[in-house]
Amino acid sequence: MNHTTKQNVRGSTAFTLVSGIVILLATLFFLVRLATSGYFSNVDEMTADAVETRIMPIGNVTMGDGVPVGLRQGDRIFQKVCVQCHATDSTVAGAPRITNNADWAPRIAKGFDTLFSHALNGFNNMPAKGGASDLTDDELKRAIAYMTNQSGGKFEAPAVPASAASDAAASGAAPAAAASSASPAQASAKK
């Protein structure tokens, strides 16, 4: 019985020693593989364009009329915001009605910059930006040009940025903005 016990102990010791060496070698192998795994990576995966593509948002949420901020045309802004007080049948005191040249003539005579300042900061009963705080300065200028040009003015509206319009059209976010590159205000201002 003593002889078998010594043999079991020797066998167990040899098994433990071999197992330990195998585990040590396997661990070293995996650590070397882990340390050098980035060394052989594709360089194209690390370009600025590739990184930008990987971190870009999956989707965009656009509330309202579906046109991203900054790309809205004057006529659309008028229909959404300004029409409440400046419609042809409006009864809001002091608000000039669109297409009524007599209402707009004294204001148009003051110049575009004065009209923009009044629209931007508010004037009499009119709140700043007509109450639409998400309007950019250029969008506000487009709305002013649209209303004044419909009422005897000859102002030129700021153009929608071409790169932004094409980006929005490519993503499908602004079908209406991409469909027409010139608003009615721009067309009448060029006549």
pLDDT digits 0-9 by tens, 87-103: 889 888 888 999 989 99
Interval 135-154 mean pLDDT = 91
Domain 74-190, CATH among 1.10.760.10, 3.40.190.80, 3.20.20.70, 2.30.30.90: 1.10.760.10
Report pLDDT digits (tens) over 16-73: 999 999 999 999 999 988 887 766 556 666 678 878 888 888 877 766 677 778 888 9
Cβ(129)–Cβ(144) under 8 Å? no
| pLDDT at residue 23 in the model | 97
Q: What's this model's pTM, rounded to 2 decimal places?
A: 0.54
- Give the domain ranges of the chain: 2-42, 74-190
At residue 176, does pLDDT exceed 80? no
Q: How many percent of the chain have pLDDT more than 90?
A: 27
- What mean pLDDT, rounded, does the chain reach? 78
Cβ(145)–Cβ(157) under 8 Å? yes
99: left (phi over 0), alpha (psi -120 to 50) or beta: left
Cβ(142)–Cβ(157) under 8 Å? yes
At residue 13, does pLDDT exceed 70? yes
- DSSP 8-class letter at 130: G
**Any residues with CB less than 8 A from the CB of 100 and at least 6 apart, and which?**
88, 151
